[in-house]
Amino acid sequence: MKQLFDEVSYICSQKVTQKYSTSFSLGVRMLSKPLRAPVYSLYGFVRFADEIVDSFHQYNKKSLLDQFEKDYYIALNEGISLNPILNSFQETVHKFNIDDTLVQAFLTSMKTDLVKKSYTEEEFKNYIYGSADVVGLMCLKIFVNGNRHGYEELKPHAMRLGSAFQKVNFLRDLNDDTNLLKRIYFPALNGGDLNTKTKKYIINDIKGDLDEALVGIKKLPDAAKTGVYTAYLYYKALTKKIAKTPASKIMNARIRISNFRKLVLLAHAYVACKLKLV
């Protein structure tokens, strides 16, 4: 029966999330149970698209991404796909009325990764919107469960949180992006190496995003707040660690947070939300 297949599809998306990102998985586990499956399905969709453009070097990436997009829209129109990742995501899109403009903006940024290697300020802003801000907005659609007023009120804050996460990821992946993929996302780098001055500029920009994001996190429904606050604390800790790390090391190593520290942050988020401190 279809219900059983849908359950299997969501489990597949959950496994993708757990395999690719232990930190994101921790955040999802702190969401209320009804929110977890749709967020897993969203992560599975964006992760597979991202893998196509970032990892499948021995294959025709454009062809794979085009087929992925085509298969998604077939699934969306027919309400089913034998690809469990697409099946779970299309169901989430229908259930939470996720705007197709958000999905299209995301796919456009993924296509940009196939051809573009450096960015102007305006191009960077557009890329961040498509690759990260809209993911935050799709999550927000799930969190407010169709409440249009809540969505519009929290929309700018969700976008700033997505921006912060993406910029931190860019800093963490600077070595691979620059040397393996030959991409330079930050316009401030100007084609050169990261230095102390440029790092400080980027970090301050991220801190501004995080500050604005926290305003929205405080207004989220309780069902979503602990999970999102957990992710916020994780990326805030990463930002602080990167700020203390020499620019030369960032260019040559991926900055990480220990599993113990992740659990401490999770506990802090849980207690803070339970005591209504956030």
- Range scoring the smallest mean pLDDT among 14-28, 178-192, 260-274: 178-192
Backbone angles phi, psi at 118, to 5 degrees: -150, 165
- Range scoring the smallest mean pLDDT among 61-75, 188-202, 215-229: 188-202
- Res. 223 pLDDT band, cuts 50 70 90: very high
* Selection from 277, 137, 161 nearest residue 228 by Cα: 161
pLDDT at residue 190, rounded to an integer = 72
- What are the beta bridge partners of residue 184? 118
- Res. 104 pLDDT band, cuts 50 70 90: very high
For residue 191, is pLDDT > 70? Answer: no
What number does CATH give the domain 2-274?
1.10.600.10
Q: Which two tokens stand for residue 188?
A: 């401030």
Handedness of CA 176, 181, 186, 188 (dihedral sign): positive
Determine which helix (DSSP H) or strand (DSSP E) holds 9, and give its type and residue range. Answer: helix 2-20
Cα–Cα dist 256/191, whole Å: 25
Please state the rounded mean pLDDT for residues 7-11.
96
- Res. 244 pLDDT band, cuts 50 70 90: very high
pLDDT at residue 4, rounded to an integer = 94
C-beta separation of 219 from 254 below 8 A: no
Q: Is 183 helix (H, G, I), strand (E, B) or coil?
A: coil
Give the burial class of 120: count Cβ atoms within 10 A of its Cβ; 0-12 exposed, 13-18 middle, 19 or more buried: exposed
Residues 31-80 have pLDDT tens digits of: 999 999 999 999 999 999 999 999 999 999 999 999 999 999 999 999 99
Chain-wide mean pLDDT for the chain? Answer: 94
- Contacts by 57-61 with C-beta closer than 8 Å and gap 24+? 61/114
pLDDT at residue 52, rounded to an integer = 97
Amino acid at position 132, single letter:
A
Backbone angles phi, psi at 184, to 5 degrees: -125, 105
Residues 124-156 have pLDDT tens digits of: 999 999 999 999 999 999 999 978 999 999 999
For residue 235, is pLDDT > 80? Answer: yes
Cα–Cα dist 253/184, whole Å: 16
- Please indicate whether residue 27 or residue 35 has the higher confidence score (pLDDT): 35
Please state the rounded mean pLDDT for residues 97-115.
97
Give the burial class of 57: count Cβ atoms within 10 A of its Cβ; 0-12 exposed, 13-18 middle, 19 or more buried: exposed
N-term to C-term CA, the chain = 43
Alpha-helix runs per DSSP H in 129-258: 134-144, 148-172, 174-175, 196-217, 222-244, 247-250
Cα–Cα dist 255/268, whole Å: 22
For residue 248, is pLDDT > 90? Answer: no
Q: How far is CA 244 from CA 199, 207, 237, in A?
A: 10, 14, 11
